[in-house]
Amino acid sequence: MRNAFIRALTDAAARDERILFLTGDLGFKLFDDFAARFPGRFMNVGVAEATMAGVASGLALEGKKPFIYSIATFATMRCYEQIRDDICYHDADVTIVGVGGGYSYGPNGPTHHALEDIAIMRALPNMTIVCPGDPAETVAAVHALARHRGPAYLRLGRAGEPAVHPGPVSFGIGESLVLRDGRDVALLSTGNMLATAVRVADLLAGRGLTCGVVSMPTVKPLDVRAVDDAIHHAAVVATLEEHSLLGGFGGAVAEHVAEAGVGVRFRRFGAPDRFSHACGDQEFHREAGGLTAARIADALLALAGRPC
């Protein structure tokens, strides 16, 4: 996902000279090509996320279009007030890029686990949140954000995520991508759980349940039509994200479901509300938190009234 991001941003920067790239001292050698192609438009601000966010606001107020980059926790949490006051309050055209969404940096420990970033970004007025599900969605997300104007948060995984889409995709801000149709279960997924969502659908198919899979890369603004379609046509609706169950994508969908007045069996799948004190990689933490295809499929079978 990270490499797809860099390639797409380099393409976008070739078309729009307002685009700048600022990093908080992360991404050794990754941006050499960008820096070589666009001298003066790449900048290492140093280990200073608050300054990076404030500087980006000032650049945007002068007509630039900065993308600012760090690990998702540092990019959103260290400088939250700068994002709120300097970027969102000014409606500044700044995209915050967080690499390592969810448990991507698993062995680095909870300081590097980005599990509350969507929740805190969602609460900010003017903010757009995009969490692509695979490299193809990452490219589409960068192009959508390059056309977008205003504060945005792009939440990436890291390197090496599997391709879920067979080829290039395209979506606009606030649009979803339907990967599979199915009306027994509708699984709405955001970000890097997309490959897991497809595996869940395969497991359910093996048990005789049809499972729709909708990738919802834009968490804010939420594609409420996609949610409405799910709750009006599927027996069971579930959300999937590598983020805390509190206030993230599942929370956003739950708010809409609750107010829609439709009786539907609904479940959020996400990270539990606790810090992990055990060392482990992304798969380890997903397993510990119940975020594996097998565990999710079992829970959905039970919810659909099919005992495991």
Partner 1 sequence: MDSTGRIAGTDGVAALETRARAVRAATVRMAHDGKTPHVGSALSCADILVALYFHAMRIDPQAPGDQDVFVLSKGHGCMSYYATLAERGYFSPSVLATYARNGGALPEHPSPGSVPGITVATGSLGHGLPIAAGVALARGMDARPGRVYVLLSDGECNEGSVWEAAMFAAGRRLDRLVVIVDYNKLQAMGRSDEISALAPLADKWRSFGWGTREVDGHDMAALTRVLDALPLEDGRPSAIVAHTVKGKGVSFMEDDTEWHYRSPSDADLDRALEELGRPA
Q: Which residues bind partner 1 (CB under 8 A)?
A: 40, 45-46, 48, 50-64, 81-82, 85-86, 89-90
> What's at 68, amino acid-wise?
I
Q: How far is CA 6 from CA 60, 137, 145, 283, 290, in A?
A: 21, 13, 13, 25, 32
**How near is the Cβ of 9 to partner 1 at its closest, in Å?**
18
Contact 211, 205 (CB under 8 A): yes
Q: How many CB atoms lie within 10 A of CB 151?
A: 28
Residue whose tokens read 């380890």: 284
Q: Which is nearer to partner 1, 22 or 152 (CB)?
A: 22
* CB closer to partner 1, 46 vs 162: 46
Name the minimum Å distance from CB 37 to partner 1. 16
Alpha helices in 16-70 (DSSP H): 32-37, 49-61
Indicate the residue among 64 and 199 with the shorter CB distance to partner 1: 64
If the CB atoms of residues 32 and 85 are measured against partner 1, the closer one turns out to be: 85
- Shortest approach of partner 1 to residue 200 CB, angstroms? 44
Q: Which is nearer to partner 1, 71 or 231 (CB)?
A: 71
CB crowding 26-54: b at 16 or more within 10 Å, else e: bbeebbeebeeebeebbbbbeeebbebbb
The CA distance from 144 to 136, in Å, is: 12
Q: Return the structure tokens found at 101.
A: 């969404």
